[in-house]
Amino acid sequence: MTDQDRDLRARLVAAGVELVATGGVHALGLREIARHAGVSHGAPRRYFPTHRELLAAIAQQGFGRLTDALAGADALAAGTGADARSRLDALARAYLGFAAANPGMFELMFRHDLLEGSGAELRRTTVPLFLTFVGLVAEVHPDSEDPAAATAALWSNLHGLAQLRTWGSLRLITGGEDVEPLLRAALDAHLGPATR
């Protein structure tokens, strides 16, 4: 099935995914997406009444891929009989890996000013994954009185690290390019030193 066969809605989203991967958020103009999909600038309006709704559909694709990547990484770790701490390790690395591999898409996913409804609907799809996160954290901290808060704190740390790297603030502060030491520090802080 070629691009020409699929309905325009899917083609537009696919064009957006491709454009954001190569040119970043800046390349996601409505007319540019339409051009890349081979239609006139008015065509998208049939499927996406506004530019923001088209961008939200593109970001939705990103959220899907992110949850897939995380679920895959966790399944892999769980398959080898890893404990909760190690599975969280794998999840964290998968999260940062996704952000590093798809910087444009990652930015779009969290640019609430570009997404219809601030993207709240989209982020809702990640809730189930977050809950498995909470379960793992509760396993690491059996006596925690609020594992959800602890998990949210850890997640926000991962997110901050992802941003820190994309800004190139790492070189500024630590002198190096690598997030690895920061990631280890964050995981150790939130989950205790790795068992090894």
User: Which lies closer to DNA via its Cβ, residue 9 or residue 141?
Assistant: 9
User: Which lies closer to its own copies via its Cβ, residue 27 or residue 69?
Assistant: 27
| Residue that the structure tokens 């444009």 belong to | 104
User: Which lies closer to DNA via its Cβ, residue 34 or residue 109?
Assistant: 34
* Cβ contacts of 44-47, under 8 Å, gap ≥ 24: 44/8, 44/12, 46/8, 47/8, 47/9, 47/12
**Alpha-carbon gap, residue 126 to 114, rounded angstroms:** 19
Residue 37 CA from chain centroid, whole number: 25
Nearest-approach distance from CB 163 to DNA, in angstroms: 24
Residue from 186, 36, 17 nearest 102 by CA: 17
**Alpha-carbon gap, residue 172 to 151, rounded angstroms:** 28
Q: Which does 39 bind (CB under 5 to 8 A by kind): its own copies, DNA, none?
A: DNA
Site stretch for its own copies (CB under 8 A), options 45-53, 70-78, 86-94, 180-188: 180-188
> Would you count residue 173 as binding its own copies (CB under 8 A)?
yes
Token output for 188: 């150790």
Residues 97-156, interacting with its own copies (CB under 8 A)? 110, 112-113, 118-120, 123-124, 127, 130, 146, 148-150, 152-156
List interacting residues with DNA (CB under 7 A).
Answer: 7-8, 29-32, 39-43, 45-47, 49-52
User: Which lies closer to DNA via its Cβ, residue 49 or residue 135?
Assistant: 49
